[in-house]
Structure 1
C-alpha cells in the first residue's frame, strides 16, 4: 500500500473538501444571522412601536425616537430576510452536500475499499471528486472567499483506523455535541415562549378584571408578536428535529461499530464502510431536504 500521507490525490481532495466545508459554514452563518436579525427586529418593532404610541402624549420626543426605531426595524426585516431566503438555503445545502460527499469519498479511499481497492485508486478518487465539483460548478466562487484549508489528511490506513477516525470521531466530535446543542437551544426557546405566553395571559387577566386603564391590551399583542417571532426562528433552525436526527445517527453509528468490535456482524470490510457512509449520508440528506422543504413552504 502506498504512503497515504504522500498521496497527492488525497491531499488535493482533502484541501478541496476543506474549502467546500468552509464555504458551507460561512453560508450557514449568514442564514442564521439573518434569521436571528429578523426575529430581533420584529420584536424590537413591536415593542418600540407600542411604547411610542403610549408615550406620544406624555413624552413626545421619546415617542418620536421610539417610532423611528420601530420604523427602521421594520424596514430592515426584508433586508436581513434575504440572507435566509430560499435561494440562500439552497446554496448552503449544495455547498454542504459537496463537502460531505467529498469527505465520504476520501475516507473510502483511505480505507482502501471499493471503488478504491485497486492500483488506480488515485485516478478514481480524482475522477469522482471532479464529478462532484463539476456538478456544483456554479458555486465554486464561494470556495474562494476564505483562507485555503491547510491540514493533513485523516490518519486512516485501513478499516480499523476508519472506525476510529471516521465513525467514532464523527459520533463523539460532531453528532453527540450537535444533538446536545440543538436540544439545549430548543429548550431555551421553549422556555422563553412559555414565559411570554404566561405573561400575555396574565396581562389579559388583569385587563379583564381591572379594565384597560393602564393600556395593557396593546402589550398583550406585543407579547404575542414576540412569541411568534421567537418560535418562528426556532422552527426555521429546526432545533427539535436536529436534536432527534443527530442523536439517532450517533446511536446507529455506535451500534454499527460495537457490532463489528464484538464480532457479531458486519465482518465484511466493504459492507461495513458502505453502511457507515450510508447512515451518515442519509442523515445529511434528511435534514437538508427538510430544510429546503420547510423554507419553501414558509415563503409561499
Structure 2
C-alpha cells in the first residue's frame, strides 16, 4: 500500500464505489421488476380466469385459451417472486451499504477530515477498503460485470467544498427529488386503489338493484384481487415510508448546514463532516433495515 500516492488511493476507492453502486442499482431494478411482474401476473390471472368462465359457454375456444393463460400466470407467480425474495433483498441492501461506505470514505478523504487527516491517510483509506471487501467478499462477483462510465473525482478539497459538493448536492440532487417522486408514486397508487374500490362498490350496488343478468358479480372479486395486488406492490416498494425518510434527511442536513453557516455550532471540521455522514448513513441504514424487516414479515 505504500506505493499508492494520494490520487491513486482515492481514485481506487472511487472506481470501486462506482462498480458497487452500479451493482446495487441493477439488483434493485431486478427486485422491482419481479415485484411488478408478480402484481401483473396476479391481476392478469384474475381477469383471464373470470373471462374464461364467462366465455366458456358461448366461445369455448376463447374460454379454454384464457383458462390456460390464467393457469400459466398463476404458475409463474412463485417463479417471479423468487427474484424479489429475502435473499435478493438482503444482497441488494449489502451492495448498497458497501457502495455508501466507500462514497463516504472518499468524500471524507478529499475533505481531509478524520480519519483521513494524518500523513498515513492513504494507508487508512485502503485499509478500510480491505475491511469492507473482507466483509462483503461473497458479493464481489456481482460487481465484475458492472461497468460504470468513467467519472471524475468529486470537486472536494476541503470542508467548504464538501459542504457544497457533498452535503448540499445530497439535499438538492437526491433527497428532495426522491421525496417528491416517492410522494407522487404513492399518491398514484392510492388513487388507483381507491378507483378500483369505487368500481367494485358500484358493480356490487348495480347487481344488488338490477340482478346479475350481465354476470357482473364475478368482476367484484377481480377488482378486489387487482386492488390487493396493486396495494401489495406499493407496500413492498414502501413509497410512503421512503418519501418521509428522504424528506426528513434533507431537513436534517439543511439544518446542519444552516447551523454551521450561522456560527451556531458545528465549527469543528471533523465533527461537522462526521455528523453529516452520520445522518446520511442512518438514513440509508434505517430504510434498508425496514425493507428487510417488512420483506421477512411478508414471507412468514
- TM-score, normalised via structure 2 length: 0.97
Q: Is the alpha carbon distance of 1:297 and 1:273 closer, same or farther for their aligned partners in structure 2, counting shifts above 3 Å? A: same
Corresponding residue for residue 17 of structure 1: 17
Alpha-carbon distance between aligned partners in 2 of 1:146 and 1:109, rounded to the nearest angstrom: 24
Q: Does 1:193 align with 2:169?
A: no
Deviation for aligned residue 1:134: 1.1
1:100-158: CA deviations, max 9, x gaps?
A: 01111111111111111101111100001111111000000000122155222111100
**Secondary structure of residue in 2 paired with 1:116:** coil
Alpha-carbon distance between aligned partners in 1 of 2:133 and 2:152, rounded to the nearest angstrom: 21
Corresponding residue for residue 238 of structure 1: 238
Q: How does 1:1-300 map to 2 (within 5 A)?
A: 7-300=7-300
Contact kept in structure 1, 2:175 and 2:247, CA below 8 Å = yes
Contact kept in structure 1, 2:6 and 2:122, CA below 8 Å = no
Alpha-carbon distance between aligned partners in 2 of 1:255 and 1:130, rounded to the nearest angstrom: 34
Contact kept in structure 1, 2:22 and 2:148, CA below 8 Å = no
Contact kept in structure 2, 1:105 and 1:129, CA below 8 Å = no
Contact kept in structure 2, 1:94 and 1:136, CA below 8 Å = yes
Alpha-carbon distance between aligned partners in 1 of 2:162 and 2:194, rounded to the nearest angstrom: 45
**Secondary structure of residue in 2 paired with 1:146:** coil
**Secondary structure of residue in 2 paired with 1:224:** helix
1:195-226: CA deviations, max 9, x gaps?
A: 00001101111111112221111100000000
Alpha-carbon distance between aligned partners in 1 of 2:143 and 2:97, rounded to the nearest angstrom: 13
**Secondary structure of residue in 2 paired with 1:7:** helix
**Secondary structure of residue in 2 paired with 1:292:** helix
**Secondary structure of residue in 1 paired with 2:87:** helix
Q: Which 4+ stretches in 1 moved above 3 angstroms? A: none
Alpha-carbon distance between aligned partners in 2 of 1:267 and 1:146, rounded to the nearest angstrom: 40
Contact kept in structure 1, 2:108 and 2:273, CA below 8 Å = yes
Q: Tell which deviates more after alignment, 222-231 or 138-147.
A: 138-147
Provide structure 1 residue ranges, at least 5 long, that are not aligned to the other structure: none
Provide structure 2 residue ranges, at least 5 long, that are not aligned to the other structure: none
